[in-house]
């Protein structure tokens, strides 16, 4: 189960740390590239894996603070893939909405030759 979660995250560009069960991906922001992270842990009491403790802070707000996904050990592999895909889409949507990322895209659009009023 753990390896399936790791492989699914890797398919979406999230790299596993060599030592701990943490994953990261770098995103462009208006200031500089910034790394987002999420941790994988096992809950023995409930016999399930968790992706939790997300971190991507922009303008003082951790946009991944409430992000989590639960993987019961009995979950079929195809459901693991679907759950990881939905989880990653949600996290990356939150990151895209972060102030520093929105500002970057706004500046890119203002400088685009296709933007009305652009002089170039």
pLDDT, one tens digit per residue, over 12-64 is: 999 999 999 999 999 998 888 999 999 999 999 999 999 999 999 998 899 99
Place of tokens 């809950």: 43
How far apart are the C-alpha atoms of 24 and 38, rounded to whole Å?
7
Cα torsion 59, 84, 38, 92 to 10°: value is -20
Rounded mean pLDDT of the chain?
A: 89
Domain extents for the chain? 2-110
pLDDT tens for each residue of 85-96:
999 999 999 999
Q: Please report which confidence band the pLDDT of residue 102 belongs to, taking 50, 70 and 90 as the band edges.
A: confident
Q: Does residue 105 register a pLDDT over 80?
A: no
Q: Which fold has domain 2-110?
A: Yope Regulator; Chain: A, (3.30.1460)
């Amino acid at each position: 189960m753990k390896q399936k979660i790791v492989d699914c995250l890797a398919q979406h560009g999230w790299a596993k740390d060599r030592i701990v069960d943490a994953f990261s991906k770098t995103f462009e922001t208006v200031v500089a590239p910034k790394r987002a992270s999420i941790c994988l842990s096992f809950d023995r009491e409930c016999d399930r894996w968790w992706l939790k403790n997300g971190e991507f802070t922009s303008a003082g707000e951790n946009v991944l603070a409430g992000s989590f996904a639960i993987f019961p050990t009995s979950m079929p592999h195809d459901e693991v893939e679907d759950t990881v895909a939905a989880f990653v889409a949600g996290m990356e949507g939150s990151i895209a909405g972060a102030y520093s990322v929105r500002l970057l895209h706004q500046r890119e659009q203002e400088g685009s030759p296709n933007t009305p009023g652009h002089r170039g």
